[in-house]
Structures are given as C-alpha cells and as structure tokens.
Structure 1
Amino acid sequence: MKNSELYTIIISGIIFFVILSVGVIQFTLLFYRQRSLRKKEEEKFQQEILRAQLEIQEQTLKNVSAEIHDNIGQTLSLVKLNLATADAAPADQLQGKIQDSYELVSKAIRDLRNLSKSLNTDYIAEKGLLQLIEHELNMIARTGAMQTEMTIKGEPAKLDPRQELILFRIIQESINNCIKHAQAERLEAIVDFSESGVIIQIRDNGKGFDTQQSAAEGAGIGLKSLQNRAAMIGASCEINSVLSKGTEVTILLPPEKMNGV
C-alpha cells in the first residue's frame, strides 16, 4: 500500500471519527435539552395545579361564608324566633313550633356537614367533575340570583384528576364572571361526552359583550388566562358573546388527550 493511500485512509478515519463524535455530542445535548424542557413543563404544570387548588379552596371559602350567612344563619334565626315565641304560644300550637324547630335544627346540621365536606380537598377530588359542577350550580340557584340547569350528554368518562381539577377551575371562573358581569337570569352547563372528546359549555342569557372591543381594551386577559389553563391539559377554550343575548364559554378536551396530560 502506498503512503498516499495510507494517509488517505487515516485522514478519512479521523474525519469520520470527528463527524461521529460531533453527532454524538449534538444528540446528547439535544437529549438533555429536551429532558430539561420536559422537566420545566412538568414543573409549570404542577405549579398550575397548585394554583388551581388554592383558587378553588379560596372560592369554596367564599361559598361557605355566603352559605353560613344566607342559609344556615337564616335557619337558626327561625329556630330562635320559634323558641322565643314558644312560651306565649297557645297549647295547640306549641307542639308545632317544637317540631318546626327540630326540623330546622336538623337541616342546619345537614348543611354544616355538607359544608365541612366541601372544605375537604380529598372529598372534592372524590366527587368528580360532574358533581362539582352540579354543586356549584345548586349553590347559585339556592341564592335566588338566577335559574341554573345542568345537562349531561353521552356516557360520562372518568378523566385524570388533574384534568378535572383544571377543567373545574375554568368552569368555576366562567361562572363567577357570569355572576359578576352578565346580569343574567339563567345559567346553563352542558357536558357532552362524544367521539370528539369532552365538550363543556357554560351559557347565560345575560347582557353579553363585544369580544373585539373587550380584547382591545385589555379585558381579553381573562380569556387568555382561561385558554392558557386549558392548553396545560391539551384542551381549548373559546368565548362567544352577543350583546343583549348572552355569553357562551366552550371547552373542548379532545379524545387523544383524555386521561393523558
């Protein structure tokens, strides 16, 4: 073998080794970069989960406060009134007042038990998304602020608890926006389990708003927050509103993302 041929083979080997080394280094760097990105995304998701949990607890405390003031407080006031007038009541009415007081106290005890359960985060997780939505609507209906209705379509599917938590917080925030701004008489939640995934709609018949104008004035930040939260679990969130006709929030969790965050 000639020296020139030997040199060519050696140089080619060196070049091949260098190219291979560079490729391995690039692959290794890419691997660690992707792993770092996944770790950051997971940390971001866990922070969002924690934030949603804290916000749900904060809203729960507000609901509990309102329930104690508006419902349990009123019930116990009726008991107090019954007892205060019992001495002066005719004999034929006394037994009725005692029975009424007994039923009112029993109701107050049941309500307090329900409230204590609602403060338990494990209980909230066990209830599941559908019961959480129904409970939220029932709380609103009991205040008399507006009529509420819940409709479930299709065969309910159990989702990842973290997905349910984020979905419920989006729904809860949408409902709160309705209570604060819509001046609606009716609020409806529709949960549709279909081949397209899980479709959740929150509708009201309130005053509505101009979505383009709201975005121009910076009010779109709230919508962006809802969309960002939905994106964390692979879902989408859209708001459609018409002046004097109402607002509809639509959340879609596609089938390929169900139970897989």
Structure 2
Amino acid sequence: MQKKYLSEIALELRKPVIVWILMVHIGTTLLETTSHNSVLHIVIASLGILCFMFLNWKVTWFIQRELWVYYVLQSAILLMSVYFMNQGYYLVMIVLYPIIIGQLLYAPYKKITIIISIAAIYIVCIAYMNYLSFVNLLFYISLFTLMNVLVGGIINLTLRQFYAKLRTQHFLKELEIAHHQVEELTVANERQRMARDLHDTLAQGLAGLIMQLEAIDAHLSSNNTKRAHEIVHLSMSGARHTLAEARSAIDDLRLHTALQVNFAESVEKEVDHFLSLTGIPIQSNIVTPIEVSQLIYEHSIHIIRECLTNIIKHAQAHHVELNISYDDHHLVMDIKDDGIGFDMRQIGSFSGHYGLIGMQERIRIVQGTLEITNRIPHGTSVHIEIPLR
C-alpha cells in the first residue's frame, strides 16, 4: 500500500483513536488514585499514556519515514506505563494494546511479520498477568481477544469505506475527463458545422454571384444589355436567397429552431435556381416522403446544392439528372452529369476547396452512405442513401 494511502487511512482513524485513548487515560487515573498508588507513579503512567496519544496524533510523520519505529516506541511506552500501575494496567492492556494490533492490520508489512508482532504482544500481556489464576487469566485473555476482534472489525470497516471513497474519486476523475473530452468534441463538431454552413451558404452564394457578374461583364462587352439586365435581376434574387440562408444558419446556431418546410419544394427550388443560373438542361424526378426529419432535410438540401454547385464550377456538363426516391427505410438520391469528371485523389488536397469534405461530414452525421463514380471524361455520378429515422 502506498504511503499516501496509509496516511489518509491514519487520518481517518486519528480522531476516534484519540478520544478512545483519552477515555482510557481518565479511567486508569481514577483506578490508580483509588488504589492509593504513589503520586510519582501515577504521574509517570499518566505521562506515558499522554505520550502514546501524542504519537498516535503524529503517526503520519512516522508513515512517511520509518513506521516500525512508531510500533516499537508505542509498545515500549505502554510497557513503561503498565510497570508503574497497580490496578489500571488491566485497562491499558485490554484496551490500548488492541490499538497497536489494529494499526498493524493495515501496515505495509508481510503477513508473517504482522502475525509475529501480534503474537509478541499477546506473550507480553500473558507474562504480565501470569500470577493470576488460570480462570482469571483465561477471562482476561478472552476479553483482550474480544477487544482485538472489535478493533479489527472497526479497522476493516474503515478500510472498506476508504477504498469505496477511492473508487468513487477514481470514477469521478474518469467522469471529469470524459466530460472534458465531450466538451472538446462538441467544440470541434460546432467548428465543423460552422465551416460547413459558411461554405454552403456564403461561400457558394458568393461564388455564384461572381460567376453571374462575370457573365454580366461579358454581355455588356458585347452590347447585350437585355441579357445583362436579366442576369442582374437573377443576381439580386440569388444574393437575397444567400442572405436569407445565412440568417437562417445564424438563427439555427443561436436558437436551435427551424421552420417546417417541404423537402420536395426545396429541391425543386434548387433545380430552378440551377437552371436559371446556368441554362444547363436538368432532368429531375423527385419523389420524397411527406415528412422528413429536420436533420435529414438540412443536410440533404446542402448535399444536393453542393453537387449542383460542383457541376457549375468544374464539370463543364451539357446535361444533368437528379433523381430522388425512397422506400420504407432509406432516402435515395442520384445526381449525374455528362461533364469532364475529376480526379478523386485530389479531394481535400487544395486549400479552400472543402465542398466534398463537407458532403462526407454531412453523410456521416445522418449515418448515410456516399458513392461517387467518376468516369473521366464521361461525367460523374453521385449515389447517396440516407436512413429514414
């Protein structure tokens, strides 16, 4: 047993032991006074018991240094006190020696050493009472043994309570560590969520706005003001849409609330926005459940938007297909284009391009599966399955 634990056990027992010794001291003093023992002998015996009590108070000091010195000193002090007593030595032997035996029970020694030490104490007690009749000797030894059993039981109970407290402290420490880990994971998840929301609202909206401004510039250069004005109106509508999404994301972060919306209608809006922005023909077949959870709705819309945005920015496609269906257990989404495809090994390798990484994170959150089939230079197919919960 570590010295730190021994000290803590000794501190747990110190106050009741001191009270116990103080009561014995009062009892022996009364017995010696009534037995007409000399004042000098009473004072010496009394000082011996007070020294025994003081060393019990300082037992932690011995634990940190040499504990065996403590046991030797305590035994010698009790022997000295018993030597100067007429009647009180019975009380000292029967009540105070069990304290030493009890303290030996949690000492960091081998069992054989503890047994020999207890046997030595028994021999000393028997030697002091050897002039008694056999019946009286047997009575006092039985009483002494009973007292040792009582003290041993108290020590055992204290040890059980101490170890239970240690286990509780250990569990609380593990719980605190787990709590800190959960907090760290929560912060990390919130950072990832904010990054996804920024990418899927402001970043995508601004990217679309930049492309529209470039188209406006090209039309104005060729004096096609009519088409330029049309794109300006689309840009204004797109900017308002992006602003509304950004505000919705902020409200969701602050209030954790969401409006009840129709999933199919939201997908149709994404399709219409894609068509008006690019003019690329998109064939859509949308069959969705009447209701989907807010979690599935939010992440599915962002995934579809990311796929369509990637087609705009990278695919150079001439035709797009979007199919959404469901069965009893899954929502299934397929997005296909006939563009130039891309090298999947480049996912996440370029700073600032986090769309596919965000898609993978969203798929993981809804416990779905994502399969990207790339046929350079014949286009890309994205297949997504999300469990309906």
1:21 CA drift (Å): 1.3
Q: Map of 1:111-190 to 2, 5 A cutoff?
A: 111=234, 114-115=237-238, 117-118=240-241, 119-121=243-245, 122=247, 130-144=264-278, 146-160=280-294, 164-190=297-323
Q: Work out whether 1:31 is the aligned partner of 2:31.
A: no
* Matched-pair contact (CA < 8 Å) for 1:184–1:207: yes
Is 1:45 the equivalent of 2:189?
A: yes
Q: Distance in 2 between matches of 1:67 and 1:191?
A: 28
Amino acid corresponding to residue 251 of structure 1 in structure 2: I
1:147 Cα deviation after fit: 1.9
Give 1:250-261 correspondences, 5 Å limit: 250-256=383-389
For 1:100-157, what per-residue CA distance to the aligned partner results, in whole angstroms no more than 9, with x for missing partners? xxxxx8x789747633531322478766654454333333333556321232224242
241-250 or 18-27: which moved more? 241-250
C-alpha contact (below 8 Å) 1:45/1:232 kept by paired residues: no
Choose 1 or 2 for highest CA Rg: 2
Segments of 5+ residues of structure 1 without an aligned counterpart are 81-104, 257-261
Report if the CA contact (8 A) 1:49-1:165 is conserved: no
Give the percent of matched residue pairs that are identical in Structure 1 and Structure 2: 18
**Which residue matches 1:94?**
none
Amino acid of the residue matched to residue 225 of structure 2?
S
Q: What secondary structure is seen at the aligned counterpart in 1 of 2:331?
A: strand
Which residue number in structure 2 is paired with residue 249 of structure 1?
Answer: 382
Distance in 2 between the 1:76 and 1:190 partners? 36
Query: Following superposition of structure 1 onto structure 2, how do residues 189-204 of structure 1 map, counting pairs within 5 Å?
Result: 189-204=322-337
In 2, the alpha carbon distance for the partners of 1:78 and 1:144 equals 17
Residue deviations 1:199-248, cap 9 Å, x none?
333222334467xxx43xx5465655532343244444332334455322
Secondary structure of 1:198's match?
strand
Q: Is the 8 A contact 1:201 1:248 kept in 2?
A: yes
The count of corresponding residues between Structure 1 and Structure 2 is 225
SS state at 1:206 partner: coil
Q: What is the CA distance between 1:27 and its match in structure 2?
A: 2.6
Unaligned runs of 5+ in 2: 1-144, 250-257
- What residue number does 1:60 align with? 205
Deviation, structure 1 residue 69: 5.8
Q: Is this contact kept in 2: 1:237–1:250, CA < 8 A?
A: yes
TM-aligned CA deviation for residue 43 of structure 1 = 2.3
- C-alpha spacing 1:79/1:231, structure 2 compared with 1 (3 Å): closer
* 8 Å contact from structure 1 (residues 197, 253) kept in 2: yes
Letter in 2 for 1:120: A
Q: Is it true that 1:22 corresponds to 2:166 in the alignment?
A: yes
Q: C-alpha distance in 2, partners of 1:208/1:78?
A: 34
Q: Answer whether contact 2:234 2:277 (CA < 8 A) is retained.
A: no
Task: Please say if residues 264 and 288 of structure 2, whose CA atoms lie closer than 8 Å, have aligned partners that are also in contact.
Answer: no
1:123/1:13 Cα in 2 relative to 1: closer, same or farther (>3 Å)?
Answer: closer
Pairwise CA RMSD of aligned residues? Answer: 3.9
Matched, 1:78 2:226: yes
Amino acid across the alignment from 1:188: E
Name the structure, 1 or 2, with higher relative contact order (CA <8 Å, separation 6+): 1
Please name the residue that 2:359 is paired with: 226
* Conserved? CA contact 1:138–1:148, under 8 Å: no
**Alpha-carbon displacement from aligned partner over 1:148-189 (angstroms, at most 9, x marks no partner):** 1232224242432x6544443333333333334434322222
Q: Which amino acid aligns with 1:49?
A: R
Deviation at 1:76, TM superposition (A): 8.3
